[in-house]
Amino acid sequence: MTESQAPRLVVGVSGASGARLGVRVLDACRELGVESHLVMSRAAAQTLAAETGLSVGEVQAKAAVTHRLGDIGASIASGSFPTLGMIVAPCSVRTMSEIASGVTSSLLTRAADVTLKERRPLVLMVRETPLHLGHLRTLVRLAEMGAVIAPPMPAFYAGLTTIEALVDQSVGRALDLFGLSWSPVRRWGEDVGPTNGSANS
């Protein structure tokens, strides 16, 4: 990317519970001046409706660019298209398993595979619990391939009291992995906990 070009981030939304994670990633990208490239799985539409009340069109309108799931000729399917990397929020077990296998059947998993082969950050906000041994082995394989496994864990230390704040904290910490600092994040030693000054007193 040239200095005058806005940074780009590929945003995948799968059908796992936690659809509002993907929605807030898109909101954050807009606030940060990041060009978001959205691709959603077919199951994502159902989860979006059930959990957020938003239609596919309303979510797509939040993205700078949207891509059809079956368009494997899209820009994000090529490593020559420069991006900061890709986040899948939320990431279902099916999606993570397909990425781990390398046998990609949609643009979402193809874009993830491209991100790995280009050695760009691939952040997977995996939504499943409890995890059986097959899940754990798949996650290990993904980590060995270079993916970052970032389940949306509640940040109790931040003193957050609403679901919206917990979601934003998880999204913001995931965006940190791309070097993107989003204002809703409450940081230890800055916003909460001991400050650098008090730690030495």
User: Residue 55 belongs to what domain range?
Assistant: 8-199
* pLDDT tens-digit readout, 107-144: 999 999 999 999 999 999 999 999 999 999 999 999 99
* pLDDT per residue as tens digits for the range 44-96: 999 999 999 999 999 999 999 999 999 999 999 999 999 999 999 999 999 99
pTM: 0.94
The tokens for 152 are: 């949306």
Judge whether 1 lies within some domain.
Answer: no
Is 3 within a domain?
no
Q: Is 151 inside a domain boundary?
A: yes
> Cβ distance 125 to 23 under 8 Å?
no
CATH number at residue 38: 3.40.50.1950
Tokens representing 5?
């070009």
Asked whether residue 33 is assigned to any structural domain, the reply reads: yes
Q: What digits encode the pLDDT tens for the residues 21-50? A: 999 999 999 999 999 999 999 999 999 999
Is residue 2 in some structural domain? no
CB 146 within 8 A of CB 105: no
Q: Spell out where the chain has E strands.
A: 8-13, 35-40, 65-67, 86-91, 122-126, 148-149
**Please, which contacts does 48-53 make with residues 24 or more away whose CB atoms are closer than 8 Å?**
48/13, 48/19, 48/23, 50/19, 51/17, 51/18, 51/19, 51/20, 52/19, 52/20, 52/23
Number of domains in the chain: 1
Would you say 89 and 11 are in contact if contact means Cβ atoms under 8 Å apart? yes
